[in-house]
Chain A
Amino acid sequence: MTLPSRRPKHPPADAPDSRDAFCPSCERFIGPADVCPYCDCDSARSPWWRHLRMVALCLAVGGLALLHAAAQRQVPERVEIRCVGPAMQYGWVRIEGTLVERPLMRQESEAAAYVAFWVDDGTGRIRVWAEGPVAAELYRDGRLNRTGSRLDITGMVGMGRDRRPRIQVLHDAHLAPAITRDKSPGSP
């Protein structure tokens, strides 16, 4: 068995402080271990180093839990379609507008289902789409059958191949008939 390396007897004056890598008691190389595996000395690290570990773990787990809780309660921003731009890519937005034409639908199977349609809120027009089980559900329950119906849509902004923003609906509950008064262009 190879003997573990020992701390050099005469390190150069400008050598880095290597106390973190060598046991302070037997001076064998122990890497990042807290307790020396040779002599069981438990002061291989300064105590606050261990506190820092706890702080990091608490910050990571606790902070994530708080971020998660805040994210779950976050209400997506309601925006006008003309405001949806490239800087909003991957953003979570809510729009309300009128279904302006019959949706494009494709459903060979639930996994390959796809639906896309245009929505107009009077300030602009945007393409909204969904795929997979979400598209299949929207296809099944007929929410998109009536052209001219007012819709309340929540989704994620992305950029289409035509380099124009579009919105992806990620859950079927995120597309519902709007309950506000119809203000679509051309409506009475």
Chain B
Amino acid sequence: MTTLWLAMAGGLIGMIVACLPGVHVYQVMGLIFLWGTAALTEVFGGSAWMLPVVTGLLVGYAGLGAVPSVLASAPDDSAFFTVLPGQRLLMEGRGYEAIFLTIAGSLAGLVGVVVVFGLIGPRLLPLVRTVLSPHFHWLLWLTVLFMLMSEWPRELAPMQGGWRRLLTAWRSLGMGLVTFGLSGWLGFILLFRHPGGAERAFMGLGPALMGLFAIPGLLLNLVSRTRIPPQPCLAMPVPPVDTWWRAIAAGMLGGGIGAFLPVVTGGVGALLAGHTMGHRDSRGFLISQGAARMVYYAGGFLFLVMPGLGMVRGGAAGMVRTFGWIPGPVDYLQVLGALCMSGALLALIPAPMVRGMMTLTLRIGLRRLSVGGLVLLGILIAVSSGWPGIRVAVVAAGIGLIPPLFGTRRMNALGVLLIPLGCRLSGVDGRVAEWLGLL
């Protein structure tokens, strides 16, 4: 019974965190582990509190991740694809529709995680890992290659052929590659010589991720002239059944790849889901993004306790494993139960929370909301990583501003993880760091 209550508490906190523009659940989780591990372990007589609380946090956060993306353009590293279609609907006065479609996709993804991964995962996935693990590194680099090559020139309006047209076409593409390279450089610095020192190094990537993905959107809100139109909460047209099936299947596939392959994050999983789904139907696209995000977060965490697998994927699994979790015989069932319980909460609670956030945004305006978000992020980064964390976040925000200002994909900023960790997976990280003068 305690497990269920803890899962619900975690779910509620996760949903609140998800509604705060720019705040990442891993940062909050890190602070919980840093300050609360000793007390909670004493209260609950061991590490049994960790799994349900973390499961709840992840489900709540993944479920309502569309709220800051759609309302404030402040996604995390796995929700940036929801920004454009979500904001388009928001500007048409259909913000509720965008958010609830993503939440519905998340719920469908959660059902998929529990049913598909829960039932056949323990039999199938250990075998898949055994077969694939020697190939993870080149699979990762192929995924990166696809990610970079699948970007297209957006400024290619009709104009006379020649150098000017070529340069115009390559400007946004080139800036995408620049973003990828710069964020990879930042990733190497953070991985090998984090300016924040060793004391809280496990949270070292948090300021960079917030700077790359959340802060640029909030900063641009401050200088943009965008006014959110009224958002009537009317009956929404339900997408056709085949759209649902295609979207959920695409989201499961994309999120599953993101959760299973090392280093490939939810953002890349969302890209794969998006390409599987296509951009023809923005509503189906949003459903697939919600499903991919949930499968990435919840599925990735389930892999930690899956019998025969025990795989660490994602920051949450890493923190649980690091901070004294002692594996038990019922861990798998405990996490499945916590997924169901927090999923039930996700089905019940979001409507008033989303309505509250929407009302707040419309009442105080996007600029004030963004100022509040920036202040909150500043406090969180200062508390978790101190002054060095602020420095990292500022530089990361500079890199993160390039994609929206030059019309390229925000996803290119994922180079912060993909390049250094991909090099590590290929066994060349030391050589690259030495070449960069970081060793």
- Residue A60 lies at the interface, judged by CB distance under 8 Å to chain B: yes
Interface size on A, residues (CB 8 A): 58
What residues on B are CB-neighbors of A108 within 8 Å? none
Alpha-carbon distance A90/B197, docked complex (angstroms): 10
Alpha-carbon distance A87/B434, docked complex (angstroms): 25
What residues on B are CB-neighbors of A93 within 8 Å? 198
Alpha-carbon distance A56/B413, docked complex (angstroms): 14
Alpha-carbon distance A89/B323, docked complex (angstroms): 10
Contact present for B229 and A33 (CB under 8 Å): no
Contact present for B201 and A92 (CB under 8 Å): yes
Contact present for B398 and A159 (CB under 8 Å): no
Contact present for A60 and B158 (CB under 8 Å): no
- Residue A153 lies at the interface, judged by CB distance under 8 Å to chain B: no
The answer, among A4, A56, A132, A163, for a CB contact under 8 Å with B405, is A56
Alpha-carbon distance A162/B193, docked complex (angstroms): 26
A143 vs chain B, min Cβ distance (A): 17
State which size class the interface on B falls in.
35 or more
- Chain A 12-53 interface mask (CB, 8 Å, partner B; 1/0): 101111010000000011111100011000000000110011
What residues on B are CB-neighbors of A87 within 8 Å? 34, 199-202
What residues on A are CB-neighbors of B230 within 8 Å? 14
Alpha-carbon distance A57/B402, docked complex (angstroms): 7
Alpha-carbon distance A60/B186, docked complex (angstroms): 10
The answer, among A4, A14, A30, A91, for a CB contact under 8 Å with B227, is A14
Alpha-carbon distance A68/B436, docked complex (angstroms): 9
What residues on B are CB-neighbors of A19 within 8 Å? 225
Contact present for A32 and B406 (CB under 8 Å): yes
Name which of B58-66, B125-133, B289-297, B388-396 contacts chain A: B388-396
- Chain B 186-223 interface mask (CB, 8 Å, partner A; 1/0): 10010111110111111010000000000000000001
What residues on A are CB-neighbors of B397 within 8 Å? 59
Contact present for A132 and B427 (CB under 8 Å): yes
Contact present for B395 and A63 (CB under 8 Å): yes
What residues on A are CB-neighbors of B318 within 8 Å? 89
- Chain A 157-169 interface mask (CB, 8 Å, partner B; 1/0): 1010001000000
The answer, among B93, B223, B227, B427, for a CB contact under 8 Å with A52, is B223
The answer, among A16, A32, A72, A170, for a CB contact under 8 Å with B155, is A32
10 smallest CB-CB distances across A and B, nearest first, come from A91-B198, A59-B398, A91-B201, A63-B395, A32-B407, A56-B401, A71-B193, A60-B398, A14-B229, A89-B202
A residues near B, CB below 8 A? Answer: 1, 4, 12, 14-17, 19, 28-33, 37-38, 48-49, 52-53, 55-61, 63-64, 66-68, 70-72, 74, 76-77, 79, 86-93, 111, 132-134, 156-157, 159, 163, 170-171, 174
B residues near A, CB below 8 A? Answer: 34, 91, 93, 154-155, 157-159, 168, 172, 182, 185-186, 189, 191-195, 197-202, 204, 223, 225-227, 229-230, 318, 321-325, 391-392, 394-395, 397-399, 401-402, 405-407, 427, 430, 433-434, 436-439
12 contacts between A and B (CB under 8 A): A15-B91, A37-B158, A37-B168, A38-B157, A56-B398, A64-B399, A67-B392, A72-B438, A74-B195, A89-B202, A92-B194, A156-B192
